[in-house]
Amino acid sequence: MHSSSRFLCLLGLVSVALAQSTNQAGYNPRIGPSNANCTRQNYQLEITSNNMVFQNVDSNANTFIGSGANVCNNFVMYVYNDHLSTGLSEHPNDTYNVVQASTDLAIATKLLDMLKHGEIGGQQFDKVIGIGHSYGSVQIQALSATVPQMLDAVLLQGFSMNGHLLTSGAYSPATEVFPDRFNQSGLPSTYLTTLAPQTQQLNFWFFPYYSDAAFDHNRKTEQPVTQGVLFTQGGLMQNATSFTGPVHVVTGANDWPFCFNDCYAVPANSTYTSIPEYVQELYPVTSNFSVYIPENTGHAVNAHYSAPDVYQEMLAFVSNVFGA
Ligand SMILES: *[C@@H]1O[C@H](CO)[C@@H](O)[C@H](O)[C@H]1NC(C)=O
Ligand SMILES: *[C@@H]1O[C@H](CO)[C@@H](O)[C@H](O)[C@H]1NC(C)=O
Ligand SMILES: *[C@@H]1O[C@H](CO)[C@@H](O)[C@H](O)[C@H]1NC(C)=O
Ligand SMILES: *[C@@H]1O[C@H](CO)[C@@H](O)[C@H](O)[C@H]1NC(C)=O
Ligand SMILES: *[C@@H]1O[C@H](CO)[C@@H](O)[C@H](O)[C@H]1NC(C)=O
Ligand SMILES: *[C@@H]1O[C@H](CO)[C@@H](O)[C@H](O)[C@H]1NC(C)=O
């Protein structure tokens, strides 16, 4: 292990229905830019119920095995298929008391701590930017409030203070929606995916600004979310009263779950011009708050035609932080 001044992006790249892959459907352990030298690291997190966010956790559920993070030459990607209950990670049976948003927050906190101490990838990072998408932004936002000293900046993609329209996904048991991919004897019925391509589309996509291939790939690799996570995630958002780093929010103009399809639909007497701008009310002492709203883009920002431009904009924010 060596300490270095390398930087790290904690990519909480999480979308309820936009995971990349599964063990049953061609899990791809190699993710990351093609010019980055990434290796997959497995980790096991010891998390005990004396952590304040835990309640009623049974004694067998205190250790979670994550499938791993992709540790690259100068950053780490931690993505949705590494989360508890998805991809190759454990799929706990208790999807109410165990697999819920506060459990994911405890895991993210522990992971961040391990990264700061060089316990993953053998490299210590002294500058960390938390980057989330959707539920990942919910997690990163909560981290910036609960452990503000551990993050230098946050980039919240697919986010606002105005979520979520969950019923329109018609979330249904993954084993019924995708019987070929999810094994009924192995996965409780409380692991859910969106019911149909139509309900997936309504929530995550803005027609026709994406390719059929992107949509089909997503549908084929959609990962389940537990009822516990789905219905507790709204409770994580909190006022980051002592987070002093810069905050950048990137939300598609036509995001359904966070803007109800129109991010500019603010009350006539609002002091803000868009819904994502309200996020600044959670950051009273941020050094710089900014918003970017890509046009013709739904919630699945990363899968629309606008994605390459959006990434350039996001990378400019990241470069600015690392350059500071
Ligand atoms: C990639 O990283 C591994 C482990 O740090 C190192 O052994 C290897 O030489 C690197 N490969 C390249 C092409 O940089
Ligand atoms: C999971 O929980 C259900 C309902 O409580 C129970 O019937 C089932 O046996 C449990 N499965 C495992 C593998 O523990
Ligand atoms: C389904 O899951 C159970 C429990 O994990 C396992 O024993 C069984 O082999 C699996 N069946 C298939 C067809 O994958
Ligand atoms: C805007 O108008 C609504 C309804 O008329 C009112 O309840 C609210 O307090 C107003 N907000 C501001 C910031 O003036
Ligand atoms: C967050 O805290 C600040 C400072 O205490 C306060 O002014 C602001 O109203 C709070 N925001 C929300 C959304 O509660
Ligand atoms: C504040 O953020 C905006 C948008 O990311 C950026 O253009 C600007 O340079 C930042 N200001 C400072 C002082 O860093």
- The pair of structure tokens assigned to 97 is 């008391």
54 found inside a domain:
yes
Domain of 213? 2-243
Task: Give the residue from 301, 138, 314, 292 showing the smallest Cα distance to 218.
Answer: 301
Tens of pLDDT, residues 66-95: 556 666 666 666 655 467 887 777 888 888
Ligand 4, atom nearest to 269 Cα? 1
Q: Which residues contact 86 (CB under 8 A, 6 or more apart)?
A: 19, 22, 80, 223, 224
Q: Is residue 306 part of a domain?
A: no
Mean pLDDT computed over 188-192: 93
Residue 179 in contact with ligand 3 by CB distance below 6 A: no
pLDDT reading at 25 higher than 80: no
Residue 136 parent element (H or E): helix 135-146
Q: How far is residue 15's CA from residue 205's CA, in Å, rounded to a whole number? A: 12
**How far is it, in rounded angstroms, from Cα 173 to Cα 198?**
16
First to last CA, the chain: 26
Give residue 77's pLDDT.
61
CATH number for the domain spanning 38: value is: 3.40.50
Pocket test residue of 279, 290, 322 for ligand 6, highest count of atoms within 8 A of CB: 290
188 CB near ligand 2 (under 6 Å): yes
Q: pLDDT band at 271, cuts 50/70/90?
A: very high
User: Whose CA is closest to atom 8 on ligand 5?
Assistant: 281
Percentage, residues of the chain above pLDDT 90 = 47
Say which residue, 187 or 14, is predicted with more confidence: 187
Whether 234 is in a domain gets the answer yes
Report the alpha-carbon distance of residue 205 to residue 207 in Å, rounded: 6
Has residue 52 got a pLDDT over 60? no
pLDDT of residue 49 exceeding 70: no
265 domain residue, yes or no: no
The band of 118, judged by pLDDT with boundaries at 50, 70 and 90, is confident
What is the CB < 6 Å shell around ligand 5?
Answer: 239, 241, 281-282, 284
Residue 227 resides in a domain: yes
The average confidence (pLDDT) of the chain is 80
Quote the pLDDT of residue 322: 83
Q: For 238-248, what is the mean pLDDT?
A: 98
Residue to mutate (ligand 5; options 141, 162, 238, 239; most atoms within 8 A of CB):
239
Each residue's pLDDT tens digit, 127-163: 889 998 998 899 999 999 999 999 999 999 999 999 8
Name the DSSP letter for residue 89.
S
Question: Would the CA dihedral through 294, 299, 301, 304 be positive or negative?
Answer: negative
Name the domain count of the chain.
1
